[in-house]
Amino acid sequence: MRQQLLELYEIQQIDLGIREIEKRFEGIPTRLREFEASLSTLRSELQKLIEQRDGIVKEVKTLEAGVQAEGIKLRKWDARLVEIRNQREYLALSREIEGGKRANREAEEKMSELNTQREQLDQQIDALHNKIAESDIDAESEREKVQKESGEVSSAISKEKARRDALLGKVPSALLRKYESIRAKRFGVGLVPVVDGSCSGCNMKLPPQLYNILQRVETVEQCPSCQRLIFWNRILEPAETPTKDGAGARA
């Protein structure tokens, strides 16, 4: 029974080691997700600026077309104004011409403001393009790092699982099933040593009779409190080997 417990304890240590490796790896893809989320935000911001800039360009073109059409009309009216002899008609057309010129001036001022906004947006867009390019490089570097670390983690876990598989045949299947069942319910820990009469899984002081049973190392027991499989921690120490005078010595 001592050897079976030692083999099972080794399996437990391997399981804890695999769990620790997987836990460390959990934080690695998180960094990449943060990079990609930042890139997504930058691209979304860039798209909004481009749409805003394109809207301004479209508005300027509309205003330019209006100013051009109004200019053609004003030139015709100016030519007609010279020919008019009726005072009332002359004044009415003069007012129309003045209104058209004022509308064109306002449109030109608006175009000037819009062009200034467009130039500012172009600068912001260029800056964002550069920032995205830099972030892309950082993200790609992180992707390569994650891929490398993922490979290393997979390799480490595969080696540990191979060690575990080699030990499985040395432990009775019923004991393994019990261990796996408890481990699934107890945060990955199904077997713990008892130190100085206390379960190291939940720190409960065991009844003296149970502690005495453990020291005989003849059966596999469970902690009355946490239900984990328990064993006397002294079995982890090197076994005593007989000497010539019959006294025991540590191996």
Phi, psi of 169 (to 5 degrees): -70, -15
pLDDT band at 247 (very low <50, low <70, confident <90, very high): very low
pLDDT at 244: 46
Which pair of structure tokens corresponds to residue 4?
């079976």
3-state SS, residue 205: strand
CA dihedral over 8, 10, 12, 18, signed as positive or negative: negative
Phi, psi of 191 (to 5 degrees): -140, 130
Q: Is the pTM of this model over 0.85?
A: no
Task: Determine the distance from the C-alpha atom of residue 13 to the mean position of all C-alpha atoms in its chain, rounded to a whole number.
Answer: 29
- Determine the Cα–Cα distance for residues 108 and 65; give it in Å rounded to an integer: 11
Phi, psi of 211 (to 5 degrees): -65, -40
pLDDT at 203: 95
pLDDT at 224: 95
Bridge partners (DSSP) listed for residue 191: 229
**pLDDT digit string, tens, across residues 59-117:** 999 999 999 999 999 999 988 888 888 889 889 989 999 999 999 999 999 999 999 99
**pLDDT digit string, tens, across residues 26-70:** 777 788 888 899 999 999 999 999 999 999 999 999 999 999 999
Which pair of structure tokens corresponds to residue 95?
């007012």
Q: What is the mean pLDDT of residues 184-188?
A: 92
Pairing relation of β-strands 191-195 and 229-232?
parallel
Selection from 240, 230, 168 nearest residue 197 by Cα = 230
- Determine the Cα–Cα distance for residues 46 and 133; give it in Å rounded to an integer: 12
- Determine the Cα–Cα distance for residues 139 and 145; give it in Å rounded to an integer: 10
> Is the Cβ–Cβ distance between 138 and 2 less than 8 Å?
no
**pLDDT digit string, tens, across residues 188-222:** 999 999 999 999 999 999 999 999 999 999 999 99
pLDDT at 84: 85
pLDDT at 241: 45
- Determine the Cα–Cα distance for residues 161 and 4; give it in Å rounded to an integer: 19
**pLDDT digit string, tens, across residues 153-177:** 889 999 999 999 999 999 999 999 9
Which domains, from first to last, does the chain contain? 2-168 (1.10.287.1490), 173-250 (no CATH)
Q: Token pair 């437990």 is at which residue?
A: 12
Largest CA distance in the chain: 146
Bridge partners (DSSP) listed for residue 199: 194
User: What single letter denotes the amino acid at residue 200?
Assistant: S
pLDDT at 239: 62
Which pair of structure tokens corresponds to residue 1?
């029974």
Does the pLDDT at position 245 exceed 50? Answer: no
- Determine the Cα–Cα distance for residues 183 and 200; give it in Å rounded to an integer: 15
pLDDT at 250: 44
Average model confidence (pLDDT) across the chain:
90
Q: Which helix (H) or strand (E) holds 222?
A: strand 221-222
